[in-house]
Amino acid sequence: MSLSVKVDFDMFYRDTSRRLLRYAYGLTGDPAEAQDLVQEAYARAWQRWRRVSGYEDPEAWLRLVVNRLSTDRWRRLFVRRDHATAQPPGPTVPPPSEDVVLLVQAMRTLPAAHRRALALHYLLDRSIAEIAVETGASAGTVKSWLSRGRAGLAAALHREEIPEGARRGR
């Protein structure tokens, strides 16, 4: 592909990769797995960049790829193998706080749909309407996912209920 296409892709990567990594981390709770999924999503985007770049929201396409890969454990293992040979080991990062560790553990107990809705809502600041568009579900379903997701987190975190005030007012 031409230099301008590469520049275009690189700029897109620069603008979006951090957000995608947040999302992947929210879904998986595993730093290495999140890194692999993000790399895999961009590799797939590059394979068909001409088409993906023409979408109204290419970043949403990447999130869909990450979402699908994150729910397929076997495919994730395949991705991990592919990327382990493609990347040098990264620098060490500070360990997560105790709260984050607990949240990661709690998120892992939730169904994929709830996890996805919570990650979009809390980590990417997406409204209920935006999540509904992205997931193809109704706004009522998204509300239910978020509500049940919060309840699930509360249960997993041994709290009776996470207060409604924890939800962002939108």
Q: Which of residues 5-24 bind another protein (CB under 8 A)?
A: 6, 9-10, 13-14, 17-18, 21-22, 24
Smallest gap from residue 40 Cβ to another protein (A):
8
What secondary structure does DSSP assign to 88-141, as a single string? PPPPP-PPPPHHHHHHHHHHHTS-HHHHHHHIIIIIS---HHHHHHHHT--HHH
Residue 87 per-residue DSSP state: S
Please tell me whether residue 65 binds another protein under the rule CB under 8 A.
yes
Please tell me whether residue 57 binds another protein under the rule CB under 8 A.
yes
Please tell me whether residue 35 binds another protein under the rule CB under 8 A.
yes
Q: Of 129 and 138, which CB lies nearer to another protein in the complex structure?
A: 138
**3-state SS class at 8:** helix
* Residues 137-156 within binding reach of another protein (CB under 8 A): 137-138, 141, 150, 153
Contacts of 48 (CB under 8 A, 6+ apart): none
Tokens of residue 139, six digits = 């706004």
Q: Of 127 and 141, which CB lies nearer to another protein in the complex structure?
A: 141
Please tell me whether residue 128 binds another protein under the rule CB under 8 A.
no
Cα 88 to its chain centre, rounded Å, is 23
Smallest gap from residue 110 Cβ to another protein (A):
11
- Indicate which single residue of 53, 71, 127, 147 sits in contact with another protein (rule: CB under 8 A): 71
Please tell me whether residue 123 binds another protein under the rule CB under 8 A.
yes
Q: Which of 46, 135, 126, 48 is nearest to 86 (CA)?
A: 46
Smallest gap from residue 133 Cβ to another protein (A):
7
Question: How many residues are recorded in the chain?
Answer: 170
Q: Which of 79, 66, 74 is nearest to 28 (CA)?
A: 66
Smallest gap from residue 10 Cβ to another protein (A):
5
